[in-house]
Amino acid sequence: MSSGQESVFTEYETETSQTSKLLRKFKETPFVPIGMAGFAMVVGYGLYKLKHRGDMKMSLHLIHMRVAAQGFVVGAITCGVLYSMFQEYVVKPKE
Protein backbone atom coordinates (compact mmCIF):
# COMPACT_ATOMS: atom_id res chain seq x y z
CA MET A 1 0.00 0.00 0.00
CA SER A 2 1.40 3.37 -0.86
CA SER A 3 1.34 6.20 1.64
CA GLY A 4 -1.03 8.24 -0.53
CA GLN A 5 -3.85 5.69 -0.49
CA GLU A 6 -6.54 5.73 2.14
CA SER A 7 -6.85 2.54 4.17
CA VAL A 8 -9.81 0.29 3.54
CA PHE A 9 -9.96 -0.87 7.16
CA THR A 10 -10.13 2.49 8.93
CA GLU A 11 -12.87 1.38 11.30
CA TYR A 12 -10.80 -1.54 12.53
CA GLU A 13 -7.54 0.38 12.70
CA THR A 14 -8.98 3.15 14.87
CA GLU A 15 -10.29 0.72 17.48
CA THR A 16 -7.13 -1.06 18.54
CA SER A 17 -8.18 -1.82 22.10
CA GLN A 18 -9.56 -5.32 22.66
CA THR A 19 -11.83 -3.96 25.39
CA SER A 20 -13.43 -1.44 23.07
CA LYS A 21 -14.04 -4.14 20.44
CA LEU A 22 -15.57 -6.41 23.07
CA LEU A 23 -17.84 -3.64 24.39
CA ARG A 24 -18.95 -2.79 20.85
CA LYS A 25 -19.85 -6.43 20.19
CA PHE A 26 -21.76 -6.62 23.48
CA LYS A 27 -23.80 -3.57 22.47
CA GLU A 28 -24.58 -5.06 19.06
CA THR A 29 -25.62 -8.48 20.43
CA PRO A 30 -26.55 -8.16 24.12
CA PHE A 31 -27.87 -11.71 24.53
CA VAL A 32 -24.58 -13.43 23.70
CA PRO A 33 -22.87 -12.29 26.92
CA ILE A 34 -26.02 -13.18 28.83
CA GLY A 35 -25.84 -16.70 27.37
CA MET A 36 -22.16 -16.96 28.20
CA ALA A 37 -22.75 -15.79 31.78
CA GLY A 38 -25.65 -18.23 32.19
CA PHE A 39 -23.50 -21.05 30.87
CA ALA A 40 -20.78 -20.18 33.38
CA MET A 41 -23.33 -20.04 36.22
CA VAL A 42 -24.78 -23.44 35.31
CA VAL A 43 -21.29 -24.96 35.14
CA GLY A 44 -20.38 -23.39 38.50
CA TYR A 45 -23.59 -24.66 40.06
CA GLY A 46 -22.95 -28.12 38.61
CA LEU A 47 -19.45 -28.21 40.07
CA TYR A 48 -20.81 -27.10 43.44
CA LYS A 49 -23.56 -29.74 43.42
CA LEU A 50 -21.13 -32.43 42.25
CA LYS A 51 -20.11 -32.98 45.85
CA HIS A 52 -23.70 -33.38 47.09
CA ARG A 53 -25.20 -35.45 44.28
CA GLY A 54 -26.05 -38.37 46.59
CA ASP A 55 -26.22 -41.76 44.93
CA MET A 56 -26.63 -40.32 41.40
CA LYS A 57 -24.05 -41.60 38.95
CA MET A 58 -21.38 -39.18 37.80
CA SER A 59 -22.27 -39.59 34.11
CA LEU A 60 -25.96 -38.86 34.75
CA HIS A 61 -25.08 -35.75 36.75
CA LEU A 62 -22.78 -34.50 33.97
CA ILE A 63 -25.44 -35.13 31.32
CA HIS A 64 -27.98 -33.12 33.32
CA MET A 65 -25.57 -30.22 33.74
CA ARG A 66 -24.63 -30.26 30.05
CA VAL A 67 -28.29 -30.18 29.01
CA ALA A 68 -29.01 -27.33 31.43
CA ALA A 69 -26.05 -25.29 30.18
CA GLN A 70 -26.91 -25.87 26.53
CA GLY A 71 -30.55 -25.03 27.20
CA PHE A 72 -29.59 -21.72 28.75
CA VAL A 73 -27.36 -20.78 25.83
CA VAL A 74 -29.94 -21.78 23.21
CA GLY A 75 -32.63 -19.85 25.12
CA ALA A 76 -30.44 -16.74 25.24
CA ILE A 77 -29.68 -16.98 21.52
CA THR A 78 -33.39 -17.44 20.75
CA CYS A 79 -34.24 -14.38 22.83
CA GLY A 80 -31.55 -12.43 20.98
CA VAL A 81 -32.93 -13.41 17.59
CA LEU A 82 -36.47 -12.50 18.63
CA TYR A 83 -35.22 -9.18 20.02
CA SER A 84 -33.38 -8.31 16.81
CA MET A 85 -36.41 -9.29 14.69
CA PHE A 86 -38.61 -7.09 16.89
CA GLN A 87 -36.19 -4.18 16.52
CA GLU A 88 -35.92 -4.62 12.77
CA TYR A 89 -39.54 -5.29 11.79
CA VAL A 90 -41.67 -3.65 14.50
CA VAL A 91 -39.73 -0.71 15.87
CA LYS A 92 -38.11 0.38 12.58
CA PRO A 93 -40.47 -0.70 9.80
CA LYS A 94 -39.11 -0.23 6.31
CA GLU A 95 -41.24 1.89 4.06
Residue 37: pLDDT above 60?
Answer: yes
Once rounded to an integer, what is the mean pLDDT over residues 59-74?
89
Q: pLDDT category, 8, cuts 50, 70, 90?
A: low
Does residue 6 carry a pLDDT above 80? no
Model-level pTM greater than 0.75? Answer: no
Mean pLDDT of the chain: 80
Q: State the first-to-last Cα distance of the chain, in angstroms, to the nearest integer.
A: 41
